[in-house]
Amino acid sequence: MSEFDFGGEFVWFPTPEYINGSHVQRFMQAHGFDSWDALHQAAIEDVGWFWDAMLKYLDIEFYEPYEQIVDLSRGKPWARWCVGGKMNIVHNCLDKWMGTPQQNVAALRWEGEEGETRVLTYGDLYREVNRTANALRSLGLGKGDAIGLYMPMTPEIAIALLAVAKIGGVILPLFSGYGAGAVATRLADADAKAVFVADGAYRRGRVVDMKSIADEALKQVPTVGHVIVHRRTGIDIPWTDGRDHWWHDLIPQQPPSAPTERTDAEDIIMIIYTSGTTGRPKGAVHTHVGFPIKAATDMAMGLDLRKEDALYWMTDMGWMMGPWEVFGTLILGSTMMFYDGAPDYPGVDRLWQLVENHGITTLGVSPTLIRALMAHGEAPVKRHDLSSLRAFGSTGEPWNPDPWMWLFQVVGEGKRPIINYSGGTEISGGIVMGNVVTPLKPAAFSGPNVDIAADVVDEEGRSVRGQVGELVIREPWIGMTRGFWKDPDRYIETYWSRFPDVWMHGDFAAIDADGQWYILGRSDDTIKVAGKRLGPAEVESVLVSHPAVVEAGAIGVPHPVKGSALVCAVVPAADATPDDALVEELKALVVQAMGKALKPQDIIFVPDLPKTRNAKVMRRVLRAAYLDQPAGDLSALVNPEVVEEIRRIGRERR
């Protein structure tokens, strides 16, 4: 294991404005804690106490109370929560707010790329969800039926998601950029009975056909009997009579009230698929009392999202952050913001314009997005009034310090915290996270989420500090996936097989001398050169500090002597000259920062790095393309065309 020295000093300190009235302060005062550390220790020593207390704090209402908060009789991997409890999370998102002042508060604000805007109050959303639930029931759909969502980020996708949950169905969120094969695989695996689709979507001024892709996929999914189509763009689309229904014909005339299905707390609410390197996608199973409660807890205790706040997280409903935003904001009584379009179209200031126009208080971004926007300088930011902003959230991939500081200083004016957030689909949210009551360093996390018994361990499973190790979790939590759909053995093998009764997440992490945590990328992205093990983010941070580099991806490739050699793919800045001289300059920069042993074997210039829609750099795809090997499942990539370009460059360079 390598010694870890990310460096950096604390740059943000909590002020009374952030601490006073915060969710953390209120929760600690209610339970007699005087520090975050004391609260966290109590929460992980007695997970039952914590989650019982948190359900009460969030005012989660049950139709019938639970008899036992947590049942570990089948072992930690198969923990069951709120045993005997009857509930439906939609009751806690919408129903319970009716008849209160909250029903007139904005639940969802929306803007389309073309400029159209809509606002739905809690009352509006409640009625639209009820109409949609009635429409689903009129088609013979009900409890336990899996229903896909293949739509862009319009209000209709939130309405559909909540309506499926309201009738006791199983939500299947699908990335709006998927091709037919990826859609078919997921719908078929879950035995889907119906799917919501849009005719198309707008992307950088162009219309992207979605209905034709869905139709192609459904040739392979005979279980789907109904397709509900939202007219988003008005393009001509193929139609199958008897199966296809227009949203505007089926739903608006339905009654605005509908009963909410009483479900067990542990009934399945959602299956979210994550792509694997090989094999079929993994379907993470989530329940009514699991995923939504974890989402709301993280928003409250990490982001400090209050009722007066408006959250915009740049996401797609097919990524867990989409359902996370819907459930978390509504449980807390806050406002969610959706934008359906590119964040830099038609101008590079579109994101900042959204903040100003919609009064966004909490903005969720990715490091990749910020690296792209900072290339345009400060002027696009300064054109807009961003005074509504209280905090940033960030997830998707590790930060490099330079773009983190740009966001903090230029957009945040050196006073707004960047709440780093890292976890996963199977977590229902975060393992590690910042918060508003402890200081922050660039690119760092304050520590584990309040509910997570996280640790960093060496190859023998022993706790380590000051060096890189594996990120693990020692106790179960309420949002933990209930396994992989139809594949319990794969779930155990993936997370529980390395160390007894310990969840190994597959991330590379480190904790510095000040107790700040760092996520350094997937541990299967780990590069080991001549016995020295390092995370890609360490090298990438060095490279992107050079003004000629916009983005970088570091991979390990086979070497006959060292075991692995370091190869870096670099996206050059627009005004850079990508030549041999720059290659040598960048190699020298890495040597200066990391030592001669880690001098890159090669640096290649690429037009882009392979990324998912949520801006995760897919290093395993980068490595496979460079080595001219099979790249595995590419269905989640937003830019699959770069894979062949990297493959061509790799052939020329090797």
CATH of the domain at 169: 3.40.50.980
In a domain, 477, yes or no: yes
Q: Which domain holds residue 319?
A: 16-95+287-521
User: Are 47 and 183 in a shared domain?
Assistant: no
| CATH number for 461 | 3.40.50.12780
In a domain, 103, yes or no: no
In a domain, 121, yes or no: no
Left, alpha or beta for 531 (phi > 0: left; psi -120 to 50: alpha)?
A: left
User: Are 252 and 294 in a shared domain?
Assistant: no
User: Are 216 and 291 in a shared domain?
Assistant: no
334-345 per-residue burial string, b: 16 or more CB within 10 A, e: under 16? bbbbbbbbebbe
Would you tell me the crossing angle of helices 641-653 and 619-626 to the nearest 10 degrees? 50
Residues 6+ apart with CB under 8 A from 348: 373, 376, 380
User: Are 235 and 299 in a shared domain?
Assistant: no
3-state secondary structure 110-166: EEECCCCEEEEEHHHHHHHHHHHHHHHHHCCCCCCCEEEEECCCCHHHHHHHHHHHH
Instruction: Please give the Cα distance from 339 to 345 (Å, whole number).
Output: 12
Residue 278 is predicted with a pLDDT of: 41
In a domain, 251, yes or no: yes
User: Are 356 and 462 in a shared domain?
Assistant: yes
In a domain, 109, yes or no: no
In a domain, 4, yes or no: no
User: Are 88 and 134 in a shared domain?
Assistant: no
In a domain, 278, yes or no: no
Instruction: Please give the Cα distance from 440 to 438 (Å, whole number).
Output: 7
In a domain, 236, yes or no: yes
Give the chain's domain count.
3
Final residue of a structural domain among 521, 545, 568: 521
User: Are 549 and 515 in a shared domain?
Assistant: no
| CATH number for 623 | 3.30.300.30
Sheet of strand 391-394, all strands in order from the earlier edge strand to the far edge: 117-121, 106-112, 335-340, 310-313, 362-365, 391-394, 418-424, 429-433, 447-448
User: Are 212 and 159 in a shared domain?
Assistant: yes
User: Are 320 and 421 in a shared domain?
Assistant: yes
In single-letter form, the type of residue at position 476 comes to P
Final residue of a structural domain among 486, 521, 556: 521
Q: What is the mean pLDDT of each run of 10 residues along the chain (654 residues)?
A: 61 97 98 97 98 98 98 98 98 98 98 97 98 98 98 98 98 90 91 98 94 96 98 97 98 98 98 68 94 98 98 94 98 98 94 98 92 92 98 88 94 98 95 97 96 95 92 98 96 95 92 92 69 71 91 88 85 93 94 80 94 78 90 80 92 84
User: Are 548 and 598 in a shared domain?
Assistant: yes
Residue 398 is predicted with a pLDDT of: 78
Residue 433 is predicted with a pLDDT of: 98
Instruction: Please give the Cα distance from 360 to 341 (Å, whole number).
Output: 17
Instruction: Please give the Cα distance from 332 to 314 (Å, whole number).
Output: 19
User: Are 315 and 329 in a shared domain?
Assistant: yes
User: Are 499 and 647 in a shared domain?
Assistant: no
pTM of the model: 0.86
